């Protein structure tokens, strides 16, 4: 790996796009540098499940011709990206991180992916994920675990862990992820990147046969990036209403890119060290407390206060498992009609916990599922109570630093923190409550533990106040820059 390749692979996406437009850089040389980086690093990190080398070079040559012809260029023209292997890219297999899913080649790309392509992005490949994204750890029985580049052998977080690790290790300028319980913010925390979950409906998701699949705020789509400006640019490209998504928000003029450089205004922030009553590992608590002190030193008014969610974190974690399981069970019904019988002939090859979730969904009655909205309402009201008196809420993104990878393809999180039991799939993730409500939230690097493991700071905004979240994230980035901490840059 040459130092010239290093410089290209760790350029911010905003700068990369601008230099390609100015003809300072060729899309072909950029793509070739990224592919060399992937060849060198992916065997170690395991971020990609499928590398589209020939296709990426072909796309880069087309992109280069457009640059030389002087035609109008998209905002991500020639910028290499990774796509999570839960989301469709036309003509490319979608594996869902599962041994049960083979030869499923979609004819159409997911809406967010299509918008990235329309903006000129070049897809390098599909990135690793837990089976169907069912937990906050990226590991599966088919491809194995993905490591955080900060500590090989420790997990990158999930479920967009391959995307986060690829970005953190210079194997993609940007990467796309989905966030149903924190799946953009969790790996952002474990892998030291920026992960932004916009307000529910900002980035459309055209799902069929059920156009109302995510009828409650739950699954969001978002960017993973090394800088807040990069995340804002990628959000701008993917966001906007879609006529085939009945849940997409109208365009209300949010200036995602402008928010990053917007003026710093007087803020009152609610700091919630436990986001209700989550148990938090001391190493995480210390790093986040230092980050909050930096905010105070930079003129931000911070009050330490916890939201009242009217429920224990264990109840809320169980709610997430029930809710997502019902969606998975519905997907299994659709897929059986396409010849993929997850609960029948393929059950034996599924991750045991994922199979248990499918089976458990049938034990929840329609009435019980509806009454679960009472728990969601408690979370919503708890957030709204704080946001009526504060501009933003900050908390740890996760209750723990990265965990060690298992060797059996089934890494999970801890079963207890500080002696208190937690659900190993999701109970240590201080992210999923925000999926119940649809509020915008991001995770930015807060710092490193004494062992050099990344810790994320979660920033939660008022409903539909995406610009405020990005503005605060960028402000924090200027207070405590993290870019030079990436392992691929250290000592360069």
Burial of 433: CB neighbours in 10 Å, binned 0-12, 13-18, 19+ = buried
Q: Which pLDDT band, with edges at 50, 70 and 90, does 5 fall under? A: confident
pLDDT higher than 80, residue 3: no
Percent of the chain with pLDDT over 90: 96
Q: Which pLDDT band, with edges at 50, 70 and 90, does 4 fall under? A: confident
Output the pLDDT for position 491.
57
- Mean of the per-residue pLDDT values of the chain: 97
Give the active site residue among 26, 109, 147, 159.
Answer: 159
Across the range 194-199, mean pLDDT stands at 98
* Residue ranges of domains in the chain, CATH in brackets: 3-485 (3.90.1300.10)
User: Which parts of 173-327 are beta strand (E)?
Assistant: 174-179, 194-197, 220-225, 268-271, 301-304
Output the pLDDT for position 1.
43
Output the pLDDT for position 264.
85
End-to-end CA distance of the chain: 12
Q: Rounded to two decimals, what is the model's pTM?
A: 0.98
pLDDT higher than 70, residue 277: yes
Q: Does the active-site annotation cover 395?
A: no
Query: Would you say 440 and 198 are in contact if contact means Cβ atoms under 8 Å apart?
Result: yes
Query: Would you say 127 and 162 are in contact if contact means Cβ atoms under 8 Å apart?
Result: yes
Please state whether the peptide bond connecting residue 409 to the residue before it is cis, i.e. omega within 30 degrees of 0: no
d(CA 214, CA 34): 35
Residues 6+ positions from 456 with CB-CB distance below 8 Å: 185, 188, 189, 190, 195, 396, 397, 398, 443, 444, 445, 446
Q: Does the active-site annotation cover 84?
A: yes
Q: Tokens 């393809």: give the residue.
A: 409
Give the active site residue among 109, 156, 183, 395.
Answer: 183
- Quote the tokens at residue 324: 């997502």
d(CA 460, CA 492): 34
pLDDT tens-digit map of 225-244:
999 999 999 999 999 999 99
Q: What is the DSSP string of 115-171?
A: HHHHTT-EEEEEE--SGGG-SSS---TTT---B-TTSTTBB--SSSHHHHHHHHTTS
Residues 6+ positions from 368 with CB-CB distance below 8 Å: none
Query: How do the residues of the chain divide into helix, strand and coil, expressed in percent and rounded to 5?
Result: 40, 15, 45
Q: How far is CA 487 from the centre of its chain?
A: 20
| Residue among 32, 235, 22 at smallest CA distance from 122 | 32
pLDDT tens-digit map of 29-44:
999 999 999 999 999 9
pLDDT higher than 80, residue 104: yes
Rama region for 135: left / alpha / beta (φ>0; ψ in -120 to 50; rest): beta
pLDDT higher than 90, residue 169: yes
């Amino acid at each position: 790996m040459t130092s010239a390749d290093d410089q290209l692979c760790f350029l911010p996406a905003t700068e990369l796009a601008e230099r390609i437009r100015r003809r300072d850089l060729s899309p072909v040389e950029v793509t070739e540098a990224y592919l060399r980086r992937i060849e060198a690093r992916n065997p170690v990190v395991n971020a990609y499940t499928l590398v589209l080398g020939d296709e990426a070079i072909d796309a880069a040559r087309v992109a280069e011709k457009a640059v030389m012809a002087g035609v109008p260029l998209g905002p991500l023209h020639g910028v290499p990206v990774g796509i999570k292997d839960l989301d469709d890219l036309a003509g490319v297999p979608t594996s869902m991180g599962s041994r049960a899913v083979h030869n499923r080649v979609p004819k159409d790309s997911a809406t967010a992916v299509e918008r990235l392509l329309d903006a000129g992005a070049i897809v390098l490949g599909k990135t690793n994920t837990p089976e169907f994204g069912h937990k906050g750890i990226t590991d599966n029985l088919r491809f194995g675990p993905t490591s955080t580049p900060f500590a090989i052998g420790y997990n990158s977080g999930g479920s967009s862990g391959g995307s986060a690790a690829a970005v953190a290790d210079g194997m993609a300028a940007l990467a796309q992820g989905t966030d149903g319980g924190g799946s953009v913010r969790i790996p952002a925390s474990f892998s030291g990147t920026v992960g932004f979950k916009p307000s529910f409906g900002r980035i459309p998701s055209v799902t069929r046969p059920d156009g109302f699949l995510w009828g409650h705020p739950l699954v969001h789509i978002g960017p993973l990036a090394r800088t807040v400006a990069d995340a804002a640019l990628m959000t701008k490209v993917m966001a906007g209403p879609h006529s085939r998504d009945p849940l997409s928000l109208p365009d209300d003029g949010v200036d995602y890119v402008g928010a990053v450089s917007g003026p710093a205004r007087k803020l009152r922030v609610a700091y919630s060290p436990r986001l209700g009553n989550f148990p938090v590992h001391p190493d995480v608590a210390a790093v986040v407390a230092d980050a909050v002190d930096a905010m105070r030193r930079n003129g931000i008014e911070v009050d330490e206060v916890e939201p009242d969610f009217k429920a224990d974190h264990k109840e809320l974690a169980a709610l997430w498992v029930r809710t997502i399981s019902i969606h998975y069970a519905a997907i299994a019904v659709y897929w059986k009609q396409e010849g993929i019988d997850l609960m029948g002939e393929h059950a034996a090859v599924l991750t045991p916990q994922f199979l248990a979730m499918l089976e458990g969904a049938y034990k929840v009655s329609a009435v019980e599922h509806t009454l679960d909205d009472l728990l969601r309402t408690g979370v919503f009201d708890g957030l709204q109570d704080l946001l009526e008196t504060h501009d933003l809420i900050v908390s740890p993104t996760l209750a723990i630093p990265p965990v060690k990878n298992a060797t059996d393809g089934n890494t999970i999180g801890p079963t207890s923190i500080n002696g208190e039991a937690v659900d190993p799939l999701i109970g240590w993730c201080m992210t999923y409550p925000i999926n119940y409500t649809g509020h915008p939230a991001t995770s930015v690097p807060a710092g490193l533990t004494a062992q050099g493991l990344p810790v994320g700071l979660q920033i939660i905004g008022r409903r539909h106040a995406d610009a405020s979240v990005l503005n605060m994230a960028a402000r924090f980035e200027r207070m405590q820059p993290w870019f030079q901490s990436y392992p691929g840059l250290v000592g360069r």
